Amino acid sequence: MSQSNSSLSSLEFIELEKKYGAHNYHPLPIVIDRASGCTVWDPEGNSYIDCLSAYSAVNQGHCHPSILKALVEQASRLSLASRAFHTSSLGPYVKKLTNTFGYEKALPMNTGVEAVETALKLARKWAYVKKGVPSGKAIIISAEGNFHGRTLGAIGMSTDPDARGGFGPFLESIGPVCPIKSEKESRLVRYNNVADLERVLEAHGKNTAAVLLEPIQGEAGVMVPDDEYLKKVKQLCEAHNVLLILDEVQTGLSRTGKFLCQHHFGVRADITTLGKALSGGLYPVSAVLADNHIMEVIKPGEHGSTFGGNPLACAIATAALDVLIDEKMSERAEEMGNLLRSGLEELKSIGPTPDSKKGYIQIVRGKGLLNAIVIDPTLSSKKRGAWELCLLMKSKGVLAKPTHSNIIRLAPPLIITPEEVKKVVKTIEESLKELDQAEEIFEE
* Single-letter amino acid, residue 273: T
Which residues contact residue 101 at a Cβ distance below 8 angstroms, ignoring those fewer than 6 apart?
259, 260, 272, 274, 289
Interior/surface letters 41-68, b for 16+ CB within 10 angstroms, e for the rest:
bbbeeeebbbbbbbbbbbbbbbbbeebe
Cα separation, 359 vs 41, in Å, equals 32
Amino acid at 415: I
Q: Do the Cβ atoms of 359 and 351 come closer than 8 Å?
A: yes
DSSP, collapsed to helix, strand or coil, labels residue 194 as helix
Separation between Cα atoms, residue 314 and residue 276, nearest integer Å:
14
Long-range CB contact pairs, 359-367, < 8 A, 24+: 359/432, 360/389, 360/432, 360/435, 361/432, 365/222, 365/223, 365/224, 366/216, 366/222, 366/224, 366/256, 366/337, 366/341, 366/410, 367/216, 367/224, 367/256, 367/257, 367/261, 367/264, 367/337
Phi, psi of 190 (to 5 degrees): -85, 145
User: What are the catalytic residues?
Assistant: 147, 247, 276
